[in-house]
Structure 1
């Protein structure tokens, strides 16, 4: 069984189609299709149902896909082990960071890492938290920043913990409160991040504990845009306190604390349980434990 054909099959499933997969693995669409066909011929049955807009896994595909993901991840571990044993002076840090808070939290750390380890290339991937978790599990990246996982196949290290705040226009009836419960916002439209952002899960789970599904006025992956929508009175946005603080000091924004249990924004760095961590990854984790002012020393 050829790892090349397994890679093509996995990417077609992950990316939702042959065209998207071809861009990910830098091959033509016909080459990707041919590789998947080759794998299906070897196994003696189709792995994908190609009827419709998006290929879907057959029963055999459901069996093969998770094992193929593990095989590809094991290959990446093996290559990393070999590189470490050879004592390569140059290395690569395959790092995933969320679109929320990356610049303010990780910008100084990236700068400090580059100053200390100029020979190590940082291959940075930016996505929502859910996609980053998927990429870690697949072995596409070594480390990713995400909300604290509750999964035995992932290990984690704390980065930052903060409460969430409810960002409102100053003319909202609750704008003057120091803290609000999410149930009090039941009639206010919600301004949420895009699909796949972990903060959404915290907020929506809190709503369900109060017995309601919020009306969603808009979604965006851009913090500044959500703040402006809240300022304009379109609804309530939810952000870690440090991200909302600069906006709160300007006109038109209030940011009372979200007084709900289990909604703490707990940012962690995650990796696969038992996975080999390269020298670069271990150095990154060690740097994160240092006070912010020491990242560049």
Structure 2
């Protein structure tokens, strides 16, 4: 049993298939299949039930997957502690960011970090919140940007808090309102982000509290496309204020969302038990410095 085999197995589970996993671990699909088969032979039991194009974990697979995450995390902690001896002259910043909003929040930080620590390599991983938490658990990233509340077992440092805005077609009957809530929008179809984005859960829980059952008419991971769908009259969407202002144009109206517990409150999280290497600690220190301009109106 080796770490490369375990990593291939973990990514097959995480990505939902052999071809997707092969792209992540930079191997051929046949090599990934062989790695999983080798692991199954070594353990003497099937780990995946292959039904058509779908792969489901067996009972043994569930155990193997959870243990593989621990073993990979321990290996990465060992590497981080050894790298710690080198200080900030060399090393790697391994950070995970969700696709939504982090360009606006962190782009300037990346430039500043690079200028201060030119010999630190930056490994950026982009996933939705669910997969980012898995990457943290496995020690594949040292830090990840996640929405509050943060799961038990992680420490975190808050970075930015933004209220949500409702994004309406300019011709919507409520487009001139000073503020809006989910009761007002009960009859309007919703355009949400793809599954795995933590912002969806905040929106749906707030709807549940109001007794609203939204009709979801579309999902996308691309903010530009979501805004275009709103402008075309397909439904209403919800964006953090800074992103809403950045994507504002004549075809949409931005209305403050008057709903508690729906703020986009992003933080940098790490495993509470993990050894944070100097490169990651330097990033946290940079994030604590005064906020830089994000290019949206106050």
What TM-score does the superposition give when structure 2 sets the normalisation length? 0.92
Distance in 2, Cα, partners of 1:6 & 1:190:
40
1:32 maps onto 2:1 in alignment: no
Distance in 2, Cα, partners of 1:99 & 1:86:
32
Q: Which residue of 1 aligns with 2:277?
A: 278
Contact 2:89–2:117 under 8 Å retained in 1: no
Q: Which residue of 1 aligns with 2:152?
A: 152
Distance in 1, Cα, partners of 2:284 & 2:198:
21
Distance in 1, Cα, partners of 2:80 & 2:229:
45
Contact 1:247–1:253 under 8 Å retained in 2: no
Distance in 2, Cα, partners of 1:38 & 1:280:
36
Q: Which residue of 2 aligns with 1:105?
A: 105
Q: Which moved more, 1:10-19 or 1:235-244?
A: 10-19
Question: Map of 1:37-48 to 2, 5 A cutoff?
Answer: 37-48=37-48
Question: Map of 1:17-166 to 2, 5 A cutoff?
Answer: 17-87=17-87, 89-166=89-166
Question: Map of 1:187-198 to 2, 5 A cutoff?
Answer: 187-198=187-198
Structure 2 unpaired stretches of 5+: 294-298
Distance in 1, Cα, partners of 2:33 & 2:251:
54
Contact 1:108–1:292 under 8 Å retained in 2: no
Please give the per-residue CA displacement for 1:105-150, whole angstroms capped at 9, x wherever unaligned.
Answer: 1111001000111111111122222222222222111111120134
What TM-score does the superposition give when structure 1 sets the normalisation length? 0.92
Please give the per-residue CA displacement for 1:179-219, whole angstroms capped at 9, x wherever unaligned.
Answer: 11111101111111122111111111111222233112222
Count of residues in Structure 1 that have an aligned counterpart in Structure 2: 294
CA RMSD after TM alignment: 2.0
The 1:279–1:105 alpha-carbon spacing in structure 2 relative to 1, beyond 3 Å, is same
Q: Which residue of 2 aligns with 1:13?
A: 13
Contact 1:48–1:57 under 8 Å retained in 2: yes
Distance in 2, Cα, partners of 1:213 & 1:293:
39
Structure 1 unpaired stretches of 5+: none
Q: Which residue of 1 aligns with 2:241?
A: 241
The 1:58–1:164 alpha-carbon spacing in structure 2 relative to 1, beyond 3 Å, is same
Contact 2:150–2:156 under 8 Å retained in 1: no
Contact 2:202–2:261 under 8 Å retained in 1: yes
The 1:14–1:246 alpha-carbon spacing in structure 2 relative to 1, beyond 3 Å, is closer
Distance in 2, Cα, partners of 1:167 & 1:76:
42
Q: Which moved more, 1:25-34 or 1:256-265?
A: 25-34
Q: Which residue of 2 aligns with 1:261?
A: 260
Contact 2:135–2:141 under 8 Å retained in 1: yes
Q: Which moved more, 1:66-75 or 1:49-58?
A: 49-58
Q: Which residue of 1 aligns with 2:296?
A: none
Question: Map of 1:200-239 to 2, 5 A cutoff?
Answer: 200-239=200-239
Distance in 1, Cα, partners of 2:98 & 2:266:
10
- The Cα shift of 1:246 comes to 4.2
